[in-house]
């Protein structure tokens, strides 16, 4: 029987896994966007994800400039999270491993959309409340993460009356993409 304790445990397991997976994804994205390594946020992300990435890095090499071991860590954690969800949920057991792998990839894509949704939202809010030219480690990281997505939208949608609507368009687009991914609700 699926009771409140199982529901709470499932929530706790998902939250812990998803937060760590998002940090691993941030590691990959920070490296891909050439965010400053000496930024305190970059250092935190690097340090927190270092051990599992080094362990998998002994088996899985980097490819060009892509941190393939970190991507493998994120996928492995998604897979473990899905398997734990199945153990803790009232769903019938016996999930085929290939289906769990596909769901792991989909979960990773949903988490990438969630990460970008959150960072773009925070960047937009910070732009409203912070003074122009104000430096903070967070704004530098947010700019490096989000600018590759915002720039093409800005190119096609210039500011209207001085208001940049590209974050809004991107937030809506990320939600649509996330909803279109065929991932069962229990794993979201």
First to last CA, the chain: 22
Taking CA 121 as the corner, what is the angle to CA 155 and CA 11, rounded to the nearest 5 degrees? 135
Q: What is the pLDDT of residues 122-146, one digit of tens each?
A: 999 988 887 666 778 889 999 999 9
Instruction: Summarize pLDDT for 69-79 with one digit per residue, the tens.
Output: 999 999 999 99
Q: Which of 109-113, 135-139, 184-188 has the lowest mean pLDDT?
A: 184-188
* Cβ contact 74:103 at 8 Å: no
- C-alpha distances (whole Å) from 97 to each of 43, 65, 94, 109 are 35, 30, 9, 19
Q: Note the pLDDT tens digit of each residue in 157-173.
A: 988 888 889 999 999 99
Distance CA(141)–CA(166), nearest Å, equals 18
* pLDDT number for residue 158: 85
- From the list 123, 48, 109, the residue with the least C-alpha distance to 78 is 109
Which of the pair, 86 or 140, is modelled with greater confidence?
Answer: 140
Query: Distances from the Cα of 40 to the Cαs of 4, 129, 138, 161, in angstroms?
Result: 39, 22, 9, 36
For residues 103-110, average pLDDT: 93
């Amino acid at each position: 029987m699926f009771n409140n304790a199982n529901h709470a445990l499932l929530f706790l397991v998902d939250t812990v896994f998803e937060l760590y997976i998002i940090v691993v994804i941030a590691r990959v994205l920070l490296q891909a966007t050439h965010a400053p390594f000496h930024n305190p946020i970059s250092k935190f992300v690097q340090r927190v994800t270092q051990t599992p990435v080094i362990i998998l890095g002994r088996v899985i090499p980097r490819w060009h400039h892509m941190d393939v071991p970190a991507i493998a860590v994120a996928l492995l954690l998604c897979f473990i999270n899905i398997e734990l969800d199945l153990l803790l949920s009232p769903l019938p057991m016996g999930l085929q491993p290939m289906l769990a792998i596909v769901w792991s990839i989909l979960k990773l894509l949903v988490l990438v959309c969630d990460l970008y949704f959150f960072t773009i939202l925070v960047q937009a809010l910070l732009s409203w409340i912070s003074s122009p030219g104000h430096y903070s480690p967070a704004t530098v990281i947010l700019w490096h993460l989000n600018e590759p997505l915002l720039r093409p939208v800005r190119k096609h949608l210039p500011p209207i009356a001085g208001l940049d609507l590209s974050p809004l368009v991107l937030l809506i687009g990320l939600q649509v993409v996330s909803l279109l991914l065929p991932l069962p609700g229990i794993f979201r």
